Amino acid sequence: MSDKAISQEYANDLMFDLQKSFWDERGLGARFRTVSVGREHFKSKVLPLLKSNAIGQFVQAIEQALQSEGIVSRVTATEDGRLLRVRVEGCMHRAVEDRLGKLEIPPFTCVPANLVAFAIEEKLDRPVELAEIKIEDGACNLLLVLFEQRPVLK
């Protein structure tokens, strides 16, 4: 295998084709099947950066990991009770969402959102659901719902 990096265009073309195929098969149900996308990347690149149990630190670690690879320019979040609003700017995969949008396919998956959910689930043992993805003001605005910690059965 070659050590040569693949182009962003090639990666996004593949992502577009995969997402389009999945949408054609499942429609909005595809959202609930793509929540594990990015799990291996999380384990190797993000999990070692998580030093506390603070959601703000999770977002900073994810931003750091994704920035270091040139995937995003900025990731920020605000907490509002059980709601977590995440803003992703400069994502290299935005072109995929734009192409899907031209086909009237709403955004249904987001790797940065999945990474945030993995961090919360891994470190806080709280289920998380990606409720909404909106592309506004040149960025992806994500709404995640955080549920109570899972009960421990004795």
Domain ranges for the chain, please list them.
8-146
pLDDT at 152 over 60: yes
The CATH number of the domain covering residues in 8-146: 3.30.1380.20
CB 69 within 8 A of CB 81: no
| Confidence band, pLDDT 50/70/90 cuts, at residue 2 | low
What pLDDT sits at residue 4?
82
How crowded is residue 22: how many other Cβ atoms within 10 Å of its Cβ?
A: 17
Q: At what angle do helices 8-26 and 94-102 cross, to 10 degrees?
A: 40
Claim: this prediction has a pTM higher than 0.85: yes
